[in-house]
Amino acid sequence: MAKKKYKFNPNTLSYERVGISTKEKLGKILTYLSSSLALAIIMVVIFLNFYETPRSKTLKRENQRLLTQYELMSRDIERVEQVLAELQQRDDNIYRVIFEAEPIPSSVRKAGFGGSNKYSHLENLNNSELIIETAKKLDIVAKEAYIQSKSYDEVLDLALNKEKMLASIPAIMPVSNEDLKRTASGWGYRMHPIYKVRKFHYGMDFTSPVGTPVYATGDGKVTEVKGSKRSRSGYGLVVTIDHGYGYETIYAHMNGFNVRVGQKVKRGDVIGYVGNTGGSTAPHLHYEVHRNGSAVNPHYYYFKDLTPQEYERMIAISSNIGQSLD
């Protein structure tokens, strides 16, 4: 029960009851409401900071579960990347070496993908950095796997055409040379017979009488038949054969031809005859092997008709000649 307030009135010499004005009543009500609201806010803040609702607990557990799944997924992707890297290594350094194919450049395997805003739709999600990083890894693995699958398609075609490729490699000597006595100057620096200066000899010379048959060293198509017997410079009469698979052979200083441009030849076919045309100082055949547009040492390709002992002897003979014949 509220206490009643009284005030002494000197005029009447008595106590009179004091009433509360409406303004005072409103002030007290507002003070009470403000205090109650402040207390409620403090209690809510304390509750939210120190106590979890069932819903918040559920969301927290769900978030933790998703984080764990992303971490496990990221580890799985890393394992897939390792397996893919091993496949790429085998592809470039084993399979493609066997079939003499160029490895896939790293710039192709690791080429960029997508645009700068490809993952913008993920930026507003919770844990967006983790989600975007995982999405990038998935995209990279998917792209590299696609490139690897296309590479295996190419290797499969090479395997199916292996027999044709082996027949096309220039794997025999261009003249009959069973005793190796026709072996003359080989690959490397030699004294030029006319200019008497050291020049690099980009092929191999085989001495032989004029008219000796010259053989195609691998299957292919004749792409060039040219030259003149009257010219005393250059390669004279020349035949060029494109064997495919990056191989090309050149036969120079010939005396005559047995083929025409565009004609397909098999390994061992007679394509012409040894001569002494062009800048030649004695009857011989100058022979070159080109691989992907560059001259390579013909020594490495006589595996079809030489034993290891004969091969070593041929290398020794050709290396001891200090002067080329052209």
What is the torsional sign of CA 239, 249, 241, 274?
positive
Q: Are residues 139 and 230 in the same domain?
A: no
Total of domains in the chain = 3
pLDDT tens digits, one per residue of 3-26: 666 776 777 777 777 666 677 778
Q: Is there a contact between 241 and 261 (Cβ–Cβ < 8 Å)?
A: no
Domain contains 167: no
The angle that helices 54-90 and 128-160 make with each other, rounded to 10 degrees, is 30
Domain contains 112: yes
Mean pLDDT of the 282-308 span: 87
Q: Are residues 43 and 61 in the same domain?
A: no
Q: Are residues 148 and 69 in the same domain?
A: yes
Per-residue DSSP letter, 27: H
Domain contains 169: no
pLDDT tens digits, one per residue of 284-295: 999 999 999 999
Q: Are residues 206 and 136 in the same domain?
A: no
Q: Identify residue 23 by its one-letter amino acid code.
A: K
Both tokens of 133, joined, read 């990083």
- pLDDT for 219 equals 96
Mean pLDDT of the 114-130 span: 65
Whether pTM exceeds 0.85: no
Q: Are residues 42 and 114 in the same domain?
A: no
Q: Which residues form the domain of 24?
A: 6-50
Q: Are residues 112 and 192 in the same domain?
A: no
Q: Are residues 109 and 219 in the same domain?
A: no
Three-state DSSP at 125 gives coil
Percent of the chain with pLDDT over 90: 21
Mean pLDDT of the 25-44 span: 82
- pLDDT for 179 equals 63
Question: Quick one: pLDDT band at residue 199, thresholds 50, 70, 90?
Answer: confident
pLDDT tens digits, one per residue of 174-197: 998 776 777 777 777 766 555 566
Mean pLDDT of the 225-235 span: 79
Most confident of 3-12, 29-38, 48-57, 264-273: 264-273
Q: Are residues 67 and 130 in the same domain?
A: yes
What distance in Å separates the CA atoms of residue 240 and residue 250, rounded to the nearest whole number?
5
Please report the DSSP string for 73-100 in residue order. Answer: HHHHHHHHHHHHHHHHHHIIIIIHHHTT
